[in-house]
Structure 1
């Protein structure tokens, strides 16, 4: 038996994402409101040199912490630590969800995570899609051809990932990787045969930029869809 989720923690790392941060936080708050549970949203401003801090200050309901890690894995872990989950809370009843500051979550984002938890999942891997109209025509054609319905199910993205706090703690949390920290944590969950749900319902929409903050990230993947188009 698994506990019913009673509390939500959302962690959002950001590194110079002033252009998208406001819309991201607005969408997260909408998803929190729809979920209808006590929630803590933690924004980790990591090595930001833009106006992200000023934008964050306009969201008083968001817990903001500033670091200089320049490391997304460490930022996600830092965000979990600074969620300050009450000591009396059952870790099995706390749902930890992560997204990214260059992304917009749908209003049903967290309810989809909670649906999986209600069905006994200890972790959830959700879908991510780029802003298609911002891709050049060739990459858009490649994307549409290679991503029929169901193609994104099971692909791991930190922008749409969730797990019970008990599972997170049991495997030692996020490792301090500059990229791939999301794939790494799901890999360790699978090694322990943790029950993981996957769905492409309510995908998170993320940036279509072709030059990212880290090597081998989602931007590089998009760029590789049609290398000669750049």
Structure 2
């Protein structure tokens, strides 16, 4: 049994579309984060399940995923990140009665790398009755100097930040269900979920303690998404 706010199960959902190049970085980082939870001696560690959602992949992403047998993988044909995230959650929590307050849902992306404390910090917040954790992202070295300067000027990665990223989000499962889950959309499924959770007045924290490294590429896998935002920054940085 867990105490108030405690978590005895964690599920991690990783949508992936044609990410054979960056998926190894993602899964290596997740393995470290999972291991750190097991090393925390304050309580019995929760059961942790990770699922990679292969969404319309036409490259070697599935082969990469198969090299990590400790993580599950499923295939979808939705062609939308919201569909993929939602399918991943439902794969690991197939019935409504599994969406309990003692289950935690963590979301990241296949082109991203979580920090070692990514899960352990979320669980610490959960033990203090937080229902929603919103973390930050930091682009990797793929940005031009102009875009990097604009990024640094416009993003103060501090406690209480205003950002919402599906690549760095955690939510208590019962609250996720009450909010309707990830919408079946091409983009902004994370923003929609957080809006619905805020309508429920859940307890949230916006933290910079668990920054996720994400791809700085300008050609993304969704119509807009983070790559679309970076393209806008690139255009505005041009003389």
Name the TM-score class by shorter chain.
Answer: over 0.9
The corresponding residue for 2:130 is 121
Decide whether the 8 Å contact of 1:127 with 1:154 is kept in 2.
no
The CA distance in 2 between the partners of 1:28 and 1:85, in whole Å, is: 23
Q: Is residue 206 of structure 1 aligned with residue 214 of structure 2? A: yes
**Structure 1 residues 170 and 62, CA gap change in structure 2 (3 angstroms):** same
Residue segments in structure 2 that go unaligned for 5+ positions in a row = 39-45
Tell me whether 156-165 or 88-97 shows the greater mean CA deviation. Answer: 88-97
Residue segments in structure 1 that go unaligned for 5+ positions in a row = none
The CA distance in 2 between the partners of 1:94 and 1:60, in whole Å, is: 23
Shift of 1:141: 1.5
The CA distance in 1 between the partners of 2:94 and 2:37, in whole Å, is: 18
The CA distance in 1 between the partners of 2:160 and 2:233, in whole Å, is: 15
Shift of 1:140: 1.3
The TM-score, its normalising length taken from structure 2, stands at 0.90
The CA distance in 2 between the partners of 1:92 and 1:78, in whole Å, is: 20
| Alignment deviations for residues 72-127 of structure 1 (CA, whole Å, 9 cap, x no partner) | 11111100111147998671011100000000001111112112112211111111
Query: Of 220, 227, 231, which aligns to 1:223?
Result: 231
The TM-score, its normalising length taken from structure 1, stands at 0.93
Paired residue total: 229
Query: Of 58, 62, 69, which aligns to 1:49?
Result: 58
The corresponding residue for 2:28 is 26
Alignment of 1:1-230 (within 5 A): 2-36=4-38, 37-84=46-93, 91-131=100-140, 133-150=141-158, 153-227=161-235
The CA distance in 2 between the partners of 1:77 and 1:146, in whole Å, is: 31
Shift of 1:152: 8.0
